[in-house]
A and B are shown apart, each in its own frame.
Chain A
Amino acid sequence: MQPRTIIEKVWDSHVVAEKPGAPTLIYIDLHLVHEVTSPQAFAGLRERGLKVRRPDLTFGTVDHSIPTTPRDLPIVDQVAAAQVKRLEDNCRDFGIPCFGFHSSHQGIVHVIGPEQGLTQPGMTVVCGDSHTSTHGAFGALAFGIGTSQVEHVLATQTLLQQKPKTFEVRVDGALRDGVGAKDIILALISRIGIGGGTGCVFEYRGSAIRSLSMEERMTVCNMSIEGGARAGLVAPDDTTYNYVNGRPFAPKGDKWEAALKLWRQLPTDEGATYDKSISIDASALEPMITFGTNPGMGIPITGAVPNPGDVSDPVERETLAKALRYMDLQPGKPLLGHKVNVVFIGSCTNSRISDLRNAAAVMKGRRVAEGVRVMVVPGSQEIRRQAEAEGLDRVFREAGADWRDAGCSMCIAMNGDQLQPGEYSVSTSNRNFEGRQGKGGRTFLASPLTAAATAVTGVVTDVRRLLNGQVHGA
């Protein structure tokens, strides 16, 4: 057999039907649903009189529109409350397990899938959310879908898909102190642009990727979509198996051994080729930060804002100029030292326990700068409890930060956690689009370390200035 990439292996093992004149029908192993993109799909099922084919392969939670205030308080926004109730009702009516608003396992859908052991190597995973790419960290082919496709998967457990192209992202070398997973992915996107991976699935490889923890790999895979790729994955290894083993939904006993045998066959064969390839030297990376209104507009934190005058293509030039007008930034100036109003630490990109530990290590014994609002939002109830058991909540509170309950929060600003017009934030989330974190708000995307450093100084800060050797990576 021809050598194959892991992307082709997972694809090939999920082909249900290939008919002339139609895309390939592929099987879906895990379908995650949340409150925002599913109600119209369930309504479609009801209209057609269809059932959910495999409720046992479907899992629900609420995350996008819920408040991050304590869970004993009601959802004040009645439109959001109705949407949350609709998801819980739909899951009950169709027999789908659901970690609802009051569940002690509730969390951001891309945080709880891995946390519960639902996400496993070699799976196909879909969700009506573009950051489904997160689950690729386990060697799963995981991608976001629209609401029509949510309905297709609910009804048939399959999807019509065109076979994706393969895109090798090699990251070799040792990361320097203060530089981590978020900086790798922001650096990649700044190089290829936010449309660079369109039509492709990334495979992240190389020594720097191998040395990342599962949580760090999730951060990298999470933002594959910001590079235009619907999915990005990392071949599984012992780091993966050690993470999955023992989790509630992971296979047990003989099933675990059988699964391991299959999973060990997943990594890309020697001699397999990719449609595209890029190589990044991890040892040369600096902490990254975005200056503009898409995640591709990123620079090393010591860099300067680019000049639209240097861009030859007129539409590209106007796109950059428009971004700088929106952000109210001057070309050629550094971002370092730029005042911020808000720091947001959270989202499916960076709300896991290691992210919170990194942020807490920087903030411990320091105070949030005067006039800065800092929100720390854990990705799940389990992470919240773990952080509280470790005393991280006390570190954040004593520094003057706001310790919240789990949800998407200010990443998407659907729930009232938002920037005011004109405010600047450093955020650990994944999108800096105009108004993404609140109408008129201005977002600089960065790592939890950079966000924490900025929280205590009040201005965009190079975390390496504050490190005393106690924090490595991010």
Chain B
Amino acid sequence: MDKFTALKSRFVVLPIDNIDTDQIIPARFLKTISKEGLGDQLFYDWRYEASGAPKPDFVLNQPVAQGRRILVAGDNFGCGSSREHAPWALTQYGFRAVISTSFADIFKGNSLKNSLLPVVVPRDVHEWLLANPEAELNIDLASQTLTLPGGRAVEFPIDAFSKHCLLEGVDELGYILQQEPAIAAYEAQRPISVNTLAGVL
């Protein structure tokens, strides 16, 4: 996983609540067996006409949005399916952080495993961002702060383990594999249900 330490960028705004994973990447693009090539499919049906031509009024197609690495969206961003293709598409497009008042559980977990930082901010900060769409933001993960122009620093929550993985650029599986003795010990004293498939097959 790529390291995430700090990020300085302007942002793109999608001021809609409950943006679901079917909007982030429509299901018909999930037939791939690869993780690659999904950035072009990000927000595909909001971004492109049926002909494939870009919709000029969609925010990602506007010149001012180019190169911006932070997305600001409405409440409960990433609700819907468990598809990890959603954070893959967002990061391959170029986003490194999403700011919202809340995130759906599975999406948040998937993002943290792909070096895409979900930043939860209070409603008044969210409203300030919507009202100041040209602001440049600084995100510092070590101090868990989002700094607005003028110096106002807003602290955001992140669990200590995910923070460590992001700062070091390591994924969770390495840690879990080190827990092998505990896993083996657990299996040795398991209640019976663990064996119900074995023996029948």
Binding site for B on A (CB under 8 A): 13, 16-17, 21-23, 25, 27, 29-30, 36-37, 39-40, 43-44, 48, 53, 56-57, 59, 64-65, 77, 79-80, 82-83, 86, 97, 118, 120, 122-123, 128-130, 132, 144-149, 151-152, 155-158, 160, 162, 193-195, 198-199, 225, 228, 230, 248-251, 255, 258-259, 262, 294, 296, 314-316, 318-319, 322, 412-414, 421, 431, 433-436, 439-440
Contact = CB atoms under 8 A, between A and B. Distances in A.
Contacts of A322: 16
24 contacts: A17-B179, A21-B160, A21-B161, A27-B183, A59-B197, A65-B31, A82-B33, A120-B196, A144-B106, A145-B109, A146-B83, A146-B109, A152-B173, A228-B105, A230-B106, A249-B196, A249-B200, A258-B192, A315-B17, A316-B17, A413-B27, A431-B20, A434-B22, A435-B45
B145 interface: no
A130 B171 contact: no
Contacts of A82: 33
A262 B176 contact: no
A16 B18 contact: no
Given A56-B197, A65-B31, A433 B23 contact: yes
Contact of B31 (A48, A83, A156, A435): A83
Given A16-B179, A128-B82, A64 B106 contact: no
B2 interface: no
Interface stretch (B73-81, B133-141, B146-154): B73-81
Nearest to A292: B18
A120 B196 CA distance: 9
Nearest to B200: A249
Contact of A431 (B28, B80, B187): B80
Which of A56, A122, A162, A318 neighbours the largest number of chain B CB atoms within 10 Å of its CB? Answer: A56
B196 to A, nearest CB: 5
B196 A144 contact: no
Contacts of B80: 130, 225, 431, 433
A246 to B, nearest CB: 13
A146 B16 contact: no
Contacts of B193: 29, 120, 122-123, 259, 262
Nearest to A255: B192
Most buried by A among B16, B79, B110: B79
A17 B197 contact: no
B81 A129 contact: yes
Contacts of B190: 27
B192 A195 contact: no
Contacts of A412: 27
B175 A22 contact: yes
A148 B201 contact: no
B191 A16 contact: no
Contacts of B22: 431, 433-436
Nearest to A248: B200
Most interface-central of A36, A59, A65, A132 (chain B CB within 10 A)? A36
Contact of B110 (A64, A146, A158, A198): A146
Contacts, number: 211
A146 B84 contact: yes
B104 A160 contact: no
Contacts of A123: 193
Contacts of A83: 31-33
A414 B30 contact: yes
B122 interface: no
B113 interface: yes
B182 interface: yes
B194 interface: yes
A435 B43 CA distance: 11
A183 to B, nearest CB: 22
A199 B192 contact: no
B104 A198 contact: yes
Nearest to A416: B28
A315 B15 contact: yes
Given A17-B183, A120-B193, 18 more contacts: A27-B186, A36-B83, A37-B84, A39-B34, A65-B30, A145-B82, A155-B176, A158-B183, A160-B172, A162-B159, A195-B102, A198-B105, A225-B80, A262-B191, A296-B18, A315-B130, A414-B27, A431-B20
Nearest to B123: A313
A57 B200 CA distance: 11
A37 B33 CA distance: 9
A446 to B, nearest CB: 19
A255 B194 CA distance: 12
B90 to A, nearest CB: 13
